[in-house]
Amino acid sequence: MPIESARRPLPGLRQMVADSGGLYLANAVIAFIFAASGPVAIILAVGARGGLSESDLSSWIFGSFFLNGLITLLFCTLYRQPLVFFWTIPGTVLVGPALGHLSWAEVIGAFLATGLLMLVLGLSGWVRRAMQAVPMPIVMGMVAGVFLRFGLGLVYAVRDDLWIAAPMIVAFLALGASAGWSRRLPPLIGALLVGAAAIALLGKFHPQGGALHALAHPNLYTPVFSWRAMVELVIPLAITVLVVQNGQGIAVLNAAEHKPPINAITVACGAGSMLAALVGTVSTCLTGPVNAIISSSGERHRHYTAGLAVGVFALAFGLFAPVFTRLMLATPPAFIGALAGLAMLRVLQTAFNVSFRERFTLGALVTFLVTVADVPIFNVGAPFWGLVIGYAVSRLLERKDFGAAGAAQ
């Protein structure tokens, strides 16, 4: 079996307590607040645009946090590394346009199929080869195309509700301009707090009526498997998890001198995605930003305790998903739009930088344009065709780049 072995002996409770400390807990708190702010706003923005109900969104958030929190606790214990799992943000964005012509049950069927594909790749040990199949600039051209709408959503939020969005942007920029202040209070969290204060001052918090269950009651969905959902979503979802998200997370951990178990991570993403799909949650992935935060300081062999703390926070957040979902939905659309847009700014910048830095730039441009145009072909969405057409153009007109990339590997 190609799955990497766990690190022995496994840490007991006493060892975990000895390895923990204030620094690691603080890093865990900051990392978790980041995960529970902008990324959750993206789920709500995509789901609301796709016509999902409050119950659907609550179930999605439950799976995103509770189920992935369990995987996080397991992997941080087995491998004694900061291996935090959440959900794929690019995959979440991909779902938005698909909900315009696919049913939620068809999308869930695609989630299951994506999980199965990743599970097979992880068990077979082929995942490294799969991660190199499509050049990264072309992949990031697709990512830039699907993320662009969130950058535009930030501008629209200012247009639609100036007194909510503008203070959030000012807070984000002010904190981001000072290295000292941004370490004490991450800009995205500052924007969230300022936005919440503006909502309270303007009296724009309007919770919906109806019964509210404090504890999660996740929905169990019956998937529908359709060829158009499989073609449109499975390959792009798998690429966003394995190449974009897991690739980023693995790079972050390697930079911190950890040795992440790539095959085991892929198996966890596959199995986790299949389980999470049943409650309506997008594919599981190894998170990059959260793992970067919790491995940024302190002693390397103690970083895993911060991952364990994030896992515990995720369990609690998932259990009370209905409360957090209703609180977020009671805010103005401009608040969610601005928060999601600010969360995507750096990711969108990175996507453009990688796409148009050096090689495969024409293929990346074609991929970006086809994705942004959002014109389905044969009822299959634009992100898939962006990858196909961009790759074909690059193969035809950028053969030297493929040769140079092959020689560099």
Q: What is the 3-state secondary structure (H, E, C) of the chain?
A: CCCCCCCCCCCCHHHHHHHCCHHHHHHHHHHHHHHCCHHHHHHHHHHHHCCCCHHHHHHHHHHHHHHHHHHHHHHHHHHCCCCCEEECHHHHHHHHHHCCCCCHHHHHHHHHHHHHHHHHHHHHCCHHHHHCCCCHHHHHHHHHHHHHHHHHHHHHHHHHCHHHHHHHHHHHHHHHCCHHHHHHCCHHHHHHHHHHHHHHHHCCCCCCCCCCCCCCCCCCCCCCCCHHHHHHHHHHHHHHHHHHHHHHHHHHHHHCCCCCCHHHHHHHHHHHHHHHHCCCCCCEEECCHHHHHHCCCCCHHHHHHHHHHHHHHHHHHHHCHHHHHHHHHCCCHHHHHHHHHHHHHHHHHHHHHHHCCCCCHHHHHHHHHHHHHCCCECCECHHHHHHHHHHHHHHHHCHHHHHHHHHHC
| Lowest pLDDT segment from 78-82, 220-224, 243-247 | 243-247
For residue 100, give the nearest of 381, 383, 360, 312 by alpha carbon: 381
Averaged pLDDT score across all residues of the chain: 88
What are 285-322's pLDDT values in tens digits?
998 888 888 887 789 999 999 999 999 999 999 999 88
Task: Indicate the pLDDT class of residue 379, thresholds 50, 70 and 90.
Answer: low
Cβ-count burial of 69 within 10 angstroms (0-12 exposed, 13-18 middle, 19+ buried)? buried
Alpha carbon 191 to chain centroid, angstroms: 20
C-beta separation of 268 from 64 below 8 A: no
Task: Indicate the pLDDT class of residue 354, thresholds 50, 70 and 90.
Answer: confident
C-beta separation of 266 from 121 below 8 A: yes
The residue ranking higher by pLDDT, 44 or 211, is 44
Tell me what the mean pLDDT of segment 222-248 comes to.
Answer: 88
What are 210-221's pLDDT values in tens digits?
655 678 889 999
Q: Does residue 376 carry a pLDDT above 90?
A: no
Q: Does residue 403 carry a pLDDT above 90?
A: no
pTM for this predicted structure: 0.78
| Lowest pLDDT segment from 37-51, 63-77, 92-106, 205-219 | 205-219
Tell me what the mean pLDDT of segment 222-242 comes to.
Answer: 91
